[in-house]
Structure 1
Amino acid sequence: MAVKFVKICGITVPEQGKAIAQLGATHIGVIFFKKSPRHISLEQIKKIKEVVPKDTKVVAVTVNPSEETVEKLLNIVDMIQFHGDEKIEFVSKYPEEKIIKAFRIKSEEDITRMKPFMEKGYKILIDAFKEGKYGGTGKQINPELAKKVVNSYEKVILSGGLSPDNIENLLNKIKPYGVDASSKLEIKPGIKDIQKVEEFIKSALNFYKKGKEGEPVNKTD
């Protein structure tokens, strides 16, 4: 199993973005949503993009943006993560290789909402549901529910309360396409504990490298 997607999200400092990429993260996440404590400006996003190695993709996370905002972000970053209530009609304006659609899930009924995006081939990120919050809560996702989503579609990224302490167990149990972590790796919102990040990435890479012997690691998927 090649490494496909190991994302560290909520980066606010260029130096941390560069260091985390060098530790092996395939994707670096930045937040462009003013209600988030990890929100940064377009100018700050540019500075992070400039220092991150080219084989590590920068993903801008946004919530219910306008088309204008999406275009501005795509002029800077590699990918957009829609983390709000965006409909397939809006998301399908953009190529699947540049998009992640996030869902906060609390029941099997939520899988039905994902199906139009699955049919178009978009990467799906699943996060724990918390009323009135669009992510970054540290709340752990229900593993059994997450497993059902992963069993129904190949390109599912697991997030929601992932940490160095639980990542190995959750990966072995759920076996997602990729993982995404943020708040459990922080000293405070937007500032990562690099030791925790290193432990997390190491565990994730070890899991994804367990596949066929000699299969190449792909950091650009």
Structure 2
Amino acid sequence: MSDAVHIKICGLSDPDTVAAAVTAGARYVGFVFFPRSPRHVSLAQARALALSVPEGVAKVALTVDADDDMLRRLTEDVPLDMLQLHGHEPPARVTEVRQRFGLPVMKAVGVAGPQDLEDLETYGKVADQLLVDAKPSENAALPGGNGLSFDWRLIAGRRWNCPWMLAGGLDAGNVAQAIRLTGARQIDVSSGVEIRPGVKDAARITAFIRAAQSALAASQPNIG
């Protein structure tokens, strides 16, 4: 991992905000395939959006407990670089998806307290990347994108067997603190750059990316 902060803008659904994310310097763009989410896109929508993304920006598909048929249609129809599993997929399923569909897999792991850290160790051994997210409540309608954060001190200084990305309740106002507390070098945001659920805002995307990049720059020693 380089010294830069790599940003993922997740839940994109229109060409203007995809372009805004790319222009502002996002390294990942995420498309959600979960009908209950206000950010859900069809395969046709996602294909059109993905084709507009230049090389060097990873296209990520967020799925929730998707079966093989869904993943097959998804990977055949949409030019993707990574699959994000955001449901209750066990470690064996992560391994199976990696082997069967030939794409790197990012596994989302919800954190609410110390008892959840063991899951990060477990999934870090089978996934290509981890998404360390806030754990939704038992009755939450969505597995992510709820604007919730967790106590970042729980993962301060921790590392796993694969690269990881911090998510959960981040916005332009708190991302610098999150980076300082956790040491994260990859950041995921969805609701924190929206004007309402499912509607991204280009100005908020740009402000978020600038805030994240500035936070890391400010923490670097001045050797000039």
TM-score band, normalised by shorter chain: 0.7 to 0.9
**Paired letter, 2:125:** E
Q: Where does the alignment leave 5 or more consecutive residues of structure 1 unmatched?
A: 214-221
Deviates more, 1:25-34 or 1:117-126: 117-126
Listed as ranges, the matches of 1:26-41 within 5 Å are 26-41=27-42
Listed as ranges, the matches of 1:129-148 within 5 Å are 129-131=135-137, 132=140, 133-147=142-156
Question: 1:115 deviation in Å?
Answer: 2.2
CA distance in 2, matches of 1:49, 1:164: 25
Structure 1 runs (4+) deviating above 3 angstroms are: 206-213
CA distance in 2, matches of 1:120, 1:134: 21
Q: Where does the alignment leave 5 or more consecutive residues of structure 2 unmatched?
A: none
- Over 3 Å counting, the alpha-carbon distance change for 1:4 and 1:200 in structure 2 is closer
Number of corresponding residues = 211
**CA deviation digits over 1:82-141, x for unaligned, max 9?**
001001111112069621100111122212122232123521111112223301100122
Structure 2 counterpart SS, 1:59: strand
Confirm or deny that 1:106 pairs with 2:100: no
Confirm or deny that 1:91 pairs with 2:98: no
- Over 3 Å counting, the alpha-carbon distance change for 1:193 and 1:84 in structure 2 is same
Partners of 1:163 and 1:181 within 8 A in 2: yes
1:219: which partner in 2? none
- Over 3 Å counting, the alpha-carbon distance change for 1:212 and 1:88 in structure 2 is farther
**Paired letter, 1:120:** V
- Over 3 Å counting, the alpha-carbon distance change for 1:175 and 1:28 in structure 2 is same
TM-score normalized with structure 1 length: 0.87
Task: Give the % identical residues.
Answer: 28
Partners of 1:141 and 1:159 within 8 A in 2: no
Structure 2 counterpart SS, 1:141: coil
Deviates more, 1:4-13 or 1:56-65: 4-13
Question: 1:208 deviation in Å?
Answer: 4.8
Question: 1:172 deviation in Å?
Answer: 1.2
CA distance in 1, matches of 2:56, 2:199: 23
- Over 3 Å counting, the alpha-carbon distance change for 1:174 and 1:97 in structure 2 is farther
CA distance in 2, matches of 1:85, 1:157: 18
2:158: which partner in 1? 151
TM-score normalized with structure 2 length: 0.86
Higher relative contact order structure (alpha carbons within 8 Å, sequence separation ≥ 6): 1
